[in-house]
């Protein structure tokens, strides 16, 4: 992916590209100021890191402040789609052994590759995530497409993961659409994406718990039987990606 360079002759074109990437990332609420400054500075041609960072900050700050101003009109204690997703994903991690990630990696392929590296073959039931391209779309008014799976080729296991994800999402109060097809993403309806800007990684209070899965014991027995029949589950794993940030597509 090209990153571009900052030169006076092409300033208008590059600035427009930089702004586009900055605007949706700021509105998403997933990136800290420091992260945005660092990534933007990589697209600014300067031998002086301080100069590049200062220039990046000059571009970002107006959009950051505009978003802070917009947030003032939001209802103080409103539970947004982002809040509910955070709660549901936390429950999936804690209660269902499902790796759950928001705004994870640059694309579906890289996300699955990285999650495969985080998988504990003895403990992890599966994964669910949405990547940066989904984030870009939802900021502009789209829904949240969630990709999921079990790290195996078992359709039944993949469906089981999907059902657990849907159950947790609905218990968190989200509007969900999924017809039970393990080959299709789970769609979370989102009228307007709202996530407050922050300078740390504190996503949620961790108090949410959707309770025990009603068929937990029966599913665990079936899960273990499938593991014996299917053997190794490494076929779908691909090479590890070096970062979950991705790169600015300028």
* Per-residue pLDDT of the chain in tens (250 residues, 90 and over written 9): 444 444 555 667 777 888 999 999 999 999 999 999 999 999 988 899 999 999 999 999 999 999 999 999 999 999 999 999 999 999 999 999 999 999 999 999 999 999 999 999 889 999 999 999 999 999 999 999 999 999 999 999 999 999 999 999 999 999 999 999 999 999 999 999 999 998 644 333 434 455 544 444 455 555 555 555 544 443 333 332 323 333 333 3
* pLDDT at res. 226: 57
pLDDT at 45: 85
Q: Output the CA angle 204-98-190, nearest 5 degrees.
A: 55
Residue 42 Cα distances to 46, 147, 154, 177, angstroms = 9, 30, 42, 39
Q: Which of 55, 62, 64 is nearest to 33 (CA)?
A: 64
The pLDDT assigned to 225 comes to 56
Per-residue burial over 19-52, b = 16 or more CB atoms within 10 Å of its CB, e = otherwise: eebbbbbbbbbbbeeeebbbbbbebbeeeeeeeb
Q: Which pLDDT belongs to residue 12?
A: 72
Residue with tokens 């208008």: 12
Structure-derived torsion over alpha carbons of residues 18, 19, 21, 24, reported in degrees to the nearest 10: 170
User: Are the beta carbons of 126 and 99 closer than 8 angstroms?
Assistant: yes
How far apart CA 17 and CA 14 sit, in angstroms, is 5
pLDDT for the residue numbered 199: 61
pLDDT of residue 4: 46
Strand partners, 98: 126
The tally of CA atoms less than 13 A away on the side-chain side of residue 27 is 16
- The H or E element spanning position 128 is strand 126-129
Q: What is the pTM assigned to this prediction?
A: 0.78
- 101 SS3 class: strand
Write down the pLDDT at residue 229: 52
């Amino acid at each position: 992916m090209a990153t571009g360079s900052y030169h006076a002759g092409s300033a208008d074109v590059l600035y427009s590209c930089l702004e586009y990437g900055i605007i949706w990332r700021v509105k998403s609420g997933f990136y800290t100021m420091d992260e945005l400054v660092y990534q933007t500075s990589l697209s600014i041609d300067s031998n002086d890191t301080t100069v590049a960072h200062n220039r990046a900050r000059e571009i970002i700050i107006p959009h950051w402040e505009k978003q802070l101003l917009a947030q003032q009109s939001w209802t103080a204690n409103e539970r947004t789609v982002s809040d509910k997703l955070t709660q549901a994903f936390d429950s999936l991690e804690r209660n269902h052994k499902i790796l759950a990630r928001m705004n994870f990696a640059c694309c579906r392929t890289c996300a699955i590759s990285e999650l495969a590296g985080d998988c504990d073959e003895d403990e992890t039931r599966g994964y669910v995530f949405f990547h940066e391209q989904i984030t870009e779309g939802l900021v502009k008014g789209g829904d949240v497409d969630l990709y999921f799976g079990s790290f195996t080729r078992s359709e039944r296991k993949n469906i089981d993961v999907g059902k657990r994800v849907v159950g947790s999402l609905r218990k968190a109060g989200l509007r969900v659409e999924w017809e039970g097809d393990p080959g299709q993403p789970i769609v979370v309806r989102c009228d307007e994406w709202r996530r407050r800007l922050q300078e740390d990684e504190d996503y949620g209070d961790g108090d949410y718990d959707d309770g025990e899965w009603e068929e937990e014991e029966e599913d665990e027995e079936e899960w273990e039987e499938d593991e014996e029949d299917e053997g190794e589950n490494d076929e779908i794993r691909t090479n590890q990606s070096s970062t979950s940030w991705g790169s600015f597509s300028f």
